[in-house]
């Protein structure tokens, strides 16, 4: 999923204080799972903002809506009949949702309410970690199912570097060395011979290096 984290409320206050009618717009997908932008967080943020503006003597209307998704037309269309009631929207969706909202409602200011962080997993409640950088050409078949692009601080394809110590990365002792994980798993799979295969220079044109990307599937287009 796309993992996001809540923005400091001070930053959101700064964004919205010039407005009078603000919609806090949540998303029922990834940001709900990572507890950054779902219905619950929409409620918490809206209450906090209301309290702040009441305490500061400002008349501010703050409404709450949470959509099924903000990355699909049909769900964003659900607010078309109500959008004109608001001067601005704080979207708690990931950066994808914020942008799709902005594209759809051209004259409406939209502010991000979360920081979009990475593609990752829930290791346990309250701990989400990165697994994928969407490079566009998956190499996991050759790295024992562990991605050095997203999990090695230097995205080294022929690792580990000389900074790997006791299974941890040189950048941070709390961070697993991706190549230690790869070697451990190659051993478990009985495939240590694969370690010595040289990884050739990667084609990054499918990564962000190639510019904004698109996937076109004519076979499923209507």
Partner 1 sequence: MTTQTPSKLEKILAAGHLAVTSEVGPPRGSNPKHIEEKGRLIKDYVDAINITDNQTSVTRMCSLAACIRLKLMGMEPVLQMVTRDRNRIALQSDILGAASFDIHNILCLSGDHQSFGDCPTGQNVHDIDSIQLIQTVRHMRDDGKFLGGADIDRPPRMFVGAAENPFADPFEIRVPRLAKKIAAGVEFIQTQCIFNLDKFELWVKLARERGLTEKVHILAGVTPLKSVGMARYMKNRVPGMDVPDDVIKRMAGTPKEKQPEEGLTICVETIERLKSLAGVHGFHVMAIEWEEKVSEIVKRAGLYPRPAVES
Binding positions for partner 1, rule: CB under 8 A? 153-167, 170-171, 177, 180, 183-184, 195-196, 198-202, 204
In angstroms, rounded to a whole number, what is the distance separating the alpha carbons of residues 43 and 41?
A: 5
- Minimum distance from residue 84 beta carbon to partner 1 (Å): 41
* 3, β-bridge pairs: 118
Q: Which is nearer to partner 1, 43 or 136 (CB)?
A: 136
Q: Which is nearer to partner 1, 124 or 166 (CB)?
A: 166
Instruction: State the DSSP H helix or E strand holding residue 54, giving kind and residue range, or none if neither.
Output: helix 39-55
Q: Which is nearer to partner 1, 85 or 213 (CB)?
A: 213
Of the candidates 212, 75, 58, 208, the one whose C-alpha atom is nearest the C-alpha of residue 91 is 75
* DSSP-based three-state secondary structure for 128: strand
- Minimum distance from residue 30 beta carbon to partner 1 (Å): 25
Taking phi over 0 as left and psi of -120 to 50 as alpha, with beta for the rest, 35 belongs to: left
Q: What share of the chain is helix, strand, coil (3-state, %, to 5)?
A: 35, 20, 45
- Minimum distance from residue 117 beta carbon to partner 1 (Å): 16
- Minimum distance from residue 188 beta carbon to partner 1 (Å): 13
Q: Which is nearer to partner 1, 70 or 116 (CB)?
A: 116
């Amino acid at each position: 999923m796309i993992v996001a984290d809540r923005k400091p409320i001070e930053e959101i206050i700064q964004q919205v204080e010039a407005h009078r009618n603000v919609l806090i717009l949540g998303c029922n997908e990834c940001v709900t799972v990572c507890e950054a932008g779902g219905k619950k967080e929409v409620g918490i943020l809206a209450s906090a903002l209301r309290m702040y503006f009441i305490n500061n003597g400002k008349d501010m209307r703050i409404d709450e809506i949470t959509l099924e998704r903000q990355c699909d037309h049909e769900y964003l269309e659900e607010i078309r009949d109500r959008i004109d009631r608001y001067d601005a929207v704080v979207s708690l969706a990931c950066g994808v949702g914020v942008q799709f909202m902005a594209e759809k409602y051209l004259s409406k200011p939209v502010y991000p309410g979360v920081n979009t962080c990475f593609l990752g997993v829930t290791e346990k409640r309250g701990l989400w970690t990165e697994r994928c950088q969407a490079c566009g050409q998956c190499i996991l078949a050759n790295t024992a199912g562990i991605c050095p692009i997203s999990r090695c601080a230097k995205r080294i394809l022929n690792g580990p570097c000389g900074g790997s110590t006791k299974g941890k990365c040189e950048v941070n002792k709390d961070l697993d060395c991706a190549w230690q994980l790869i070697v451990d798993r190659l051993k478990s799979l009985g495939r240590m011979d694969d370690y010595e295969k040289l990884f050739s220079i990667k084609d990054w044109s499918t990564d962000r290096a190639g510019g904004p990307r698109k996937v076109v599937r004519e076979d499923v287009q209507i």
